């Protein structure tokens, strides 16, 4: 049987802030297409640092160095132009950040506007509707598309940010604790949304919420002190962790 080629692959990926400080140490992992992979671990273990390396956010800082390889559909993104990577790899942050001066519709289209990508009005309208439908928001906002994105509730703002990331039709969607600033009802909406979205995009999510990781991810990574300690099927990792450090984390003994 032919093996399935991963959509994303870390190969001995390292991230260093200085020559003496390595925040991510030789991570290797293959991410399957159309899955949700949770990245867990205590604060400061390298979760977000690893996540942000996938869309070259570290290029914004001259002191940060990324070594090894990160392959997206077989291409090493570390050799690609950041703008090309960010069109293929979307990012959603911990707190909802709609652009405050833009309307709801323009927030969805922000990637096009900021990169001077011109499409027709009809294509714009179609993209806005499709993306807002993808995040179950169209019926809520279709009559107020010209209002500012900051007019929305916190949960709606985060769904708008997800719609904005989806508008560029990414291969991979990165999410850095996307529900930590939301109430339980909004968190549940986002979780159900992600379960639907994995049909069209591969999702990597950093989360401190072990219950969330267990509910929505099919694969899980446990990181500790910059190392990838364990990676595999989520149910198996939670029920039969192979490493004592994973077991200790799941029992709340480290964190």
Confidence of residue 3 (pLDDT cuts 50, 70, 90): low
Residue-wise pLDDT for 68-119, tens only, equals: 999 999 999 999 999 899 999 999 998 888 999 999 999 999 998 888 888 9
Residue-wise pLDDT for 138-176, tens only, equals: 999 999 999 999 889 999 999 999 999 999 999 999 999
Residue-wise pLDDT for 16-47, tens only, equals: 998 788 999 999 999 999 999 999 999 999 99
Q: What percent of the chain has pLDDT over 90?
A: 83
Domains of the chain, earliest start first:
8-250 (3.40.50.300)
Q: Give the tokens for residue 119.
A: 């499409």
pTM of the model: 0.93
């Amino acid at each position: 049987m032919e093996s399935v080629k991963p959509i994303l692959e870390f190969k001995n990926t390292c991230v260093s802030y200085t020559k003496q400080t390595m925040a991510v140490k030789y991570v290797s992992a293959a991410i399957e297409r159309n899955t949700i992979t949770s990245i867990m671990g205590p604060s400061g273990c390298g979760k977000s640092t690893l996540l942000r390396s996938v869309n070259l956010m570290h290029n914004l800082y001259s002191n940060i160095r990324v070594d090894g390889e990160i392959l997206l559909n077989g291409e090493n993104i570390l050799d690609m132009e950041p703008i090309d990577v960010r069109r293929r790899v979307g990012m959603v942050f911990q707190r909802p950040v709609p652009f405050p001066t833009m309307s709801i519709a323009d927030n969805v289209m922000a990637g096009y506007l900021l990169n001077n990508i011109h499409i027709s009005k009809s294509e714009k309208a179609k993209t806005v509707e499709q993306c807002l439908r993808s995040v179950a928001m169209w019926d809520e906002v279709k009559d107020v598309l010209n209002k500012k994105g900051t007019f929305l509730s916190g949960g709606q703002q985060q769904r708008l940010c997800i719609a904005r990331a989806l508008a560029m039709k990414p291969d991979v969607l990165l999410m850095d604790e996307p529900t930590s600033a939301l109430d339980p009802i909004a968190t549940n909406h986002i979780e159900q949304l992600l379960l639907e979205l994995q049909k069209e995009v591969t999702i990597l999510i950093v989360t401190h919420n072990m219950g969330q990781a267990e509910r929505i991810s099919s694969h899980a990574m446990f990181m500790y002190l910059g190392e990838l300690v364990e990676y595999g099927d989520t149910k198996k990792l939670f029920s039969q962790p192979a490493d004592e450090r994973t077991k200790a984390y799941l029992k709340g003994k480290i964190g």
